[in-house]
Chains A and B, each alone.
Chain A
Amino acid sequence: MNGFQQIDKLSGVAGAAALVVLAVAPLVFPGNYLIGVLTVAAIYGIWAVSWDFMSGLTGRENFGHSLFIGVGAYVAGVVNVQMELGPWWSLPASMLLAVAFALLLGFPTLRLKGPYFALAMLSAAVIMQRLMLIFWEYTGGEEGIQDIAPLIRNNLHYYWFVLVVLAATTFILSWMARSRWGLILRAIRGDEATCLAAGIPITTYKIVSLVISAAFAGLGGALYAHYQLQVSPQLFAVVTSVTIITMVYVGGMGTIYGPVGGALLLTLLTEGLRNFGEWRLMIYSLLLIFILFFLPNGFIAPLWKRVRSGWGDRA
């Protein structure tokens, strides 16, 4: 026995089943609208899972995840439109640049105790947003970069591609979270000083998990750019980060799979709220307050755990 949790058969089966359902849904309910919504939901899923891997496990909450998303998206735009390279080049380029930012921001802030990391990330995202506007000659300002080429022209096929990326992301990060890496991250959440005494270079681990988190977030950003076919400074907005954090809360912090459910649920909810137009963000924020008070452990993951133990009793 090597002592680490494994992804057990039941979870694996459930995950595969969910994947199949998601893939098949647009065939059952045809129409570009559903495909669009599900594509966006899947991309949010990638963002939520990447956030959970770092912040959900270590407890060091990153309030500027939108920075990595925006960077990934803008890189896709620049590479595709301004550098006129083929669209597939965006993916590695986005991840690379997101990683660079993660290192730049992570180094000074993650070795410190206290709220510095969270606030620095928040400030960085806000400042990036402003910078996109200030240097409008390069970034297109308010309107951003337009006319990005799609990766795959067929909407349905692109959706399936995104779904595959989501599945891969979730699987990889889940696996890591259950390995000794995840154990260390959770120990860091438990007590940093004791980790040091046990010989763990906590700052290194924190920075590396931020880098991994950023890489996937940037990838999601590029995927988003190639879906929307344009990018704007709005991507850097605090609202994006908060939405993702809400999804993770709803899904269950630190579970990795929960946030996927959270992303799906909240994206569908947002679509349903379209009728409320401008009230959407307001409702979202109020929802967040509600969740913080009444559902700090989330909704999706606890539900799944209860279903599982019910199953276990029967088996």
Chain B
Amino acid sequence: MSSVLLEVDSVDKHFGGLHAVKQVSMQIRRGEIVGILGPNGAGKTTLFNMLTNFIPPDNGRVIFNGQSLQGVKPHKIVTLGIARTFQLCRPFVGLSVLENVLVGSLGPRVRHDGLGDRAMQLLKQVGLEAKAHTPSELLSYGDLRRLEIARALAAEPELLLLDEPFAGLGSSEIEAISSLIRQLHAEKQLTILLIEHKLREFMQLVSRVIALDFGEVIAEGSPAEIVAHPKVIEAYIGKQTEMAVHHAA
């Protein structure tokens, strides 16, 4: 079993005149938690969309577990072992919290007995056990994030893609979700790839950072290296984001 779980090879994407992702390459090893950093518009979500074939790349390949994802239909991606969350939490309106997680486990990858028990277990792990029968559209933002994570985990993935898991949360919530992610990573031997632009929490969570700007990789390294990297600083100072705030704090 190779140590490289996900290999991204020069993927490229144009949207009309906009060159959203420019020849991005990266290798994600089993068991890592890797962060993708970049200001808004840097192409991060587009990249995620290409990793899950929601949008096929114009050029380049995505190889997961030695298998090319080209031509694989979006709903089959989960079967291969990749699960993702979305930037804007999208619960299944009209379904309870428990039902939401159940749906996540209905793909062919998961054993079919005891689904309900397993779903409750997941809810316990993310701390939503008490709200199992609440209609999911009534959840607070923080709880929705937990639900997203539980739902993604219900498919028992090897690779978990988290799209801005801290967006819209207050600092104590961020702390909680962050430690949740760490805990789940340890318990379930997941490989995690996450997108964020909030630096501080991100830095403590990930072992490696890949920085994007305008669709291309501008730097790669440990969190400490990235923070000091001239190109990264340039990309951020130009846009006045939380980086300055967090460093001051």
Q: Do chains A and B touch in the complex (CB under 8 A)?
A: yes
Inter-subunit contact B83/A197 (CB<8 Å): yes
Q: What B residues does A4 contact at CB under 8 A?
A: 102, 116
Residue of A nearest to B103 (CB): A187
**Contact A201 B75, CB 8 Å, known A3-B116, A187-B92, A190-B92:** yes
Q: What B residues does A201 contact at CB under 8 A?
A: 73, 75-76
Q: How far is the CB of A216 from chain B (nearest CB, A)?
A: 23
Inter-subunit contact B75/A199 (CB<8 Å): yes
**Does B151 belong to the interface (CB within 8 Å)?**
yes
Q: How far is the CA of A217 from the CA of B99 in the complex (A)?
A: 29
- B65-91 CB mask vs A (1 if < 8 Å, else 0) is 000000001111111000110100011
Q: How far is the CB of B36 from chain A (nearest CB, A)?
A: 18
Inter-subunit contact A191/B75 (CB<8 Å): no
**Does B94 belong to the interface (CB within 8 Å)?**
yes
Inter-subunit contact B95/A198 (CB<8 Å): no
**Does A309 belong to the interface (CB within 8 Å)?**
no
Which residue from A180, A190, A199 sits with its C-beta under 8 Å from B95? A190
**Does B52 belong to the interface (CB within 8 Å)?**
yes
Residue of A nearest to B80 (CB): A199
Which residue from A1, A189, A194 sits with its C-beta under 8 Å from B90? A194
Residue of A nearest to B151 (CB): A198
Number of interface residues of A (CB under 8 A): 22
Inter-subunit contact A199/B98 (CB<8 Å): no
Inter-subunit contact A189/B75 (CB<8 Å): no
Interface residues in B193-209 by Cβ distance below 8 A to A read: none
**Does A24 belong to the interface (CB within 8 Å)?**
no
Residue of A nearest to B155 (CB): A199
**Does B104 belong to the interface (CB within 8 Å)?**
yes
Q: How far is the CA of A193 from the CA of B89 in the complex (A)?
A: 12
Q: What A residues does B86 contact at CB under 8 A?
A: 193-194, 197
Q: How far is the CB of A200 from chain B (nearest CB, A)?
A: 6
Interface locus among B2-10, B14-22, B107-115, B172-180: B107-115
**Does A183 belong to the interface (CB within 8 Å)?**
yes
**Does B234 belong to the interface (CB within 8 Å)?**
no
**Does B117 belong to the interface (CB within 8 Å)?**
yes
Q: How far is the CA of A198 from the CA of B155 in the complex (A)?
A: 7
Q: How far is the CA of A198 from the CA of B108 in the complex (A)?
A: 11
Inter-subunit contact B78/A183 (CB<8 Å): no
Q: What A residues does B155 contact at CB under 8 A?
A: 198-199
Q: How far is the CB of B108 from chain A (nearest CB, A)?
A: 7
Q: What A residues does B91 contact at CB under 8 A?
A: 190-191
**Does B119 belong to the interface (CB within 8 Å)?**
yes
Contact size range, B: 35 or more
Q: What B residues does A134 contact at CB under 8 A?
A: none
Inter-subunit contact A197/B78 (CB<8 Å): yes
Q: What A residues does B83 contact at CB under 8 A?
A: 197-198
Q: How far is the CB of A61 from chain B (nearest CB, A)?
A: 15
Q: What A residues does B107 contact at CB under 8 A?
A: 198-200
Inter-subunit contact B119/A199 (CB<8 Å): no
Q: How far is the CA of A186 from the CA of B92 in the complex (A)?
A: 8
Inter-subunit contact B99/A199 (CB<8 Å): no
Inter-subunit contact A196/B74 (CB<8 Å): yes
Inter-subunit contact B78/A1 (CB<8 Å): no
Which residue from B54, B93, B94, B109 sits with its C-beta under 8 Å from A196? B54
Q: How far is the CA of A186 from the CA of B98 in the complex (A)?
A: 13
Inter-subunit contact A198/B94 (CB<8 Å): no
**Does B186 belong to the interface (CB within 8 Å)?**
no
Q: What B residues does A193 contact at CB under 8 A?
A: 54, 86, 90
Q: How far is the CB of A56 from chain B (nearest CB, A)?
A: 11
Q: What A residues does B74 contact at CB under 8 A?
A: 196-197
Inter-subunit contact A191/B116 (CB<8 Å): no
In this complex, which of A180, A189, A193, A199 has the most chain B Cβ atoms within 10 angstroms of its Cβ? A199
**Does A265 belong to the interface (CB within 8 Å)?**
no
Q: What B residues does A189 contact at CB under 8 A?
A: 92-94
Extra 11 A-B pairs, beta carbons < 8 Å, given A184-B103, A197-B52, A199-B106: A1-B120, A180-B102, A183-B103, A186-B92, A186-B95, A189-B93, A194-B92, A198-B152, A200-B107, A201-B73, A201-B76
28 contacts between A and B (CB under 8 A): A2-B115, A3-B115, A180-B115, A183-B102, A183-B103, A184-B106, A187-B100, A187-B103, A189-B93, A190-B95, A191-B92, A193-B54, A194-B86, A194-B90, A195-B92, A195-B103, A196-B74, A196-B75, A197-B52, A197-B74, A198-B103, A198-B107, A198-B152, A198-B154, A199-B77, A199-B79, A199-B155, A201-B76
